[in-house]
Amino acid sequence: MFAQYRALKAEHPDALLFFRMGDFYELFFDDAVRAAPVLEVALTRRGRNAGEEVPMCGVPVHSAESYLRKLIRRGFRVAICEQLEDPAEARRRGSRTLVRRGVVRLVTPGTLTEEELLEARRYNFLAACARTRDRLGLAWVDISTGAFFTEALAPEELSEALARIEPGELLLPEEGIDVGSFPVLEEFGERITRTAQVRFDSLHGERRLLEQFGLATLDGLGPFERAELAAAGALLDYVRLTQKGLEPRLEWPKRIERTKVLQIDPATRRNLEILRSLSGDREGSLLAAIDRTLTAAGGRLLAERLQAPSTDPSFIRQALDRVEALIAAPELRAEVRRRLATVPDIGRAMGRLALGRGGPRDLLAVGRGLEVAAELAALLASGEPLLAALSSGLESGAALGRRIVASLVDSPPPLARDGGFLRSGVDAELDEARELRDHGRQRIAALEARYRERTGIPSLRIRHNHLLGWYIEVTSTHRARVPADFVQRQSMAGATRYTTAELVELERRLAEAAERALARELALFEEMRRDLLAAAATVSTIADSLARLDVDAALAEVAAEQRWVRPEIREDLTFEVRGGRHPVVEQALGHRHERFVANDCRLDETETLWLVTGPNMAGKSTFLRQNALIVLLAQAGSFVPADCAAIGIVDRLFSRVGAADDLARGRSTFMVEMVETATILNRATRRSFVVLDELGRGTATFDGLSLAWAVVEYLHDVLRCRTLFATHYHELTHLAGRLPRLSTRTVRVEEFQGKVVFLHEVVPGRADRSYGIQVARLAGLPPPVLERAEQVLARLEAEDAASAASRLAEDLPLFAWSGERPTAAATPLPAGLQAVTERLAGVDPDRMSPRDALDLVYELVRLVREAR
pLDDT tens for 683-710 read: 999 999 999 998 877 777 788 888 989 9
pLDDT given at position 836: 78
Supply the pTM of this predicted model. Answer: 0.84
pLDDT given at position 667: 61
> Parallel, antiparallel, or unpaired for β 469-475 and 461-465?
antiparallel
* CA atoms 783, 786, 791, 792: torsion sign: positive
Does residue 242 contact residue 357 with C-beta atoms inside 8 Å?
Answer: no
Does residue 245 contact residue 236 with C-beta atoms inside 8 Å?
Answer: no
Does residue 228 contact residue 151 with C-beta atoms inside 8 Å?
Answer: yes
Our separate counts of H helices and E strands in the chain read 29, 27
Does residue 239 contact residue 143 with C-beta atoms inside 8 Å?
Answer: yes
Bridge partner residues of 233 (DSSP) = none
- DSSP secondary-structure letter at 718? I
Does residue 67 contact residue 4 with C-beta atoms inside 8 Å?
Answer: no
Tell me how far apart the alpha carbons of residues 230 and 208 are, in angstroms, rounded to a whole number. Answer: 10
Q: Which amino acid is at 832?
A: G
pLDDT given at position 815: 44
Q: Which amino acid is at 682?
A: N
**DSSP codes joined into one string, 66-100:** HHHHHHHHTT--EEEEEE-S-HHHHHHH-TTPPPP
Q: SS in 3 state form for 208-227?
A: HHHHHHCCCCCCCCCCCCHH
Does residue 472 contact residue 498 with C-beta atoms inside 8 Å?
Answer: yes
> Parallel, antiparallel, or unpaired for β 126-132 and 135-142?
antiparallel
Show the beta-strand stretches assigned E in 476-532: 487-491, 495-499
Does residue 166 contact residue 150 with C-beta atoms inside 8 Å?
Answer: no
Bridge partner residues of 16 (DSSP) = 78
Best CA proximity match to 686, nearest among 708, 714, 718, 661: 718
Bridge partner residues of 45 (DSSP) = 55
- DSSP secondary-structure letter at 459? T
Best CA proximity match to 567, nearest among 636, 651, 653: 636
Q: SS in 3 state form for 325-336?
A: HHHCCHHHHHHH
Best CA proximity match to 106, nearest among 7, 245, 235: 245
Ranges in the chain, pLDDT < 50: 661-664, 666, 812, 814-820, 822-826
- The separation between CA 567 and the C-alpha centre of its own chain, rounded to angstroms, equals 29
3-state helix, strand, coil in the chain (%, to 5): 50, 20, 30
Over the chain, what is the mean pLDDT? 89
- DSSP secondary-structure letter at 183? G
C-alpha distances (whole Å) from 165 to each of 84, 124, 157, 695 are: 38, 9, 13, 29
Does residue 682 contact residue 653 with C-beta atoms inside 8 Å?
Answer: no
Q: Please, which contacts does 321-324 make with residues 24 or more away whose CB atoms are closer than 8 Å?
A: 321/386, 322/386, 322/387, 322/390, 322/552, 323/552, 323/555, 323/556, 323/559, 323/566, 323/637, 323/638, 323/639, 324/556, 324/566, 324/639
Tell me how far apart the alpha carbons of residues 2 and 10 are, in angstroms, rounded to a whole number. Answer: 12
Show the beta-strand stretches assigned E in 346-479: 461-465, 469-475
Does residue 714 contact residue 681 with C-beta atoms inside 8 Å?
Answer: yes
> Parallel, antiparallel, or unpaired for β 24-28 and 44-49?
unpaired
Tell me how far apart the alpha carbons of residues 428 and 521 are, in angstroms, rounded to a whole number. Answer: 11
Q: SS in 3 state form for 634-667?
A: HHCCCCECCCEEEEECCCEEEEEECCCCEHHHCE
- DSSP secondary-structure letter at 707? H
Best CA proximity match to 337, nearest among 300, 308, 379, 274: 379
Q: Which amino acid is at 479?
A: R
C-alpha distances (whole Å) from 663 to each of 229, 303, 382, 666 are: 37, 30, 60, 5
End-to-end Cα separation, the chain, in angstroms:
94
pLDDT tens readout for residues 620-643: 999 999 999 999 999 999 999 999
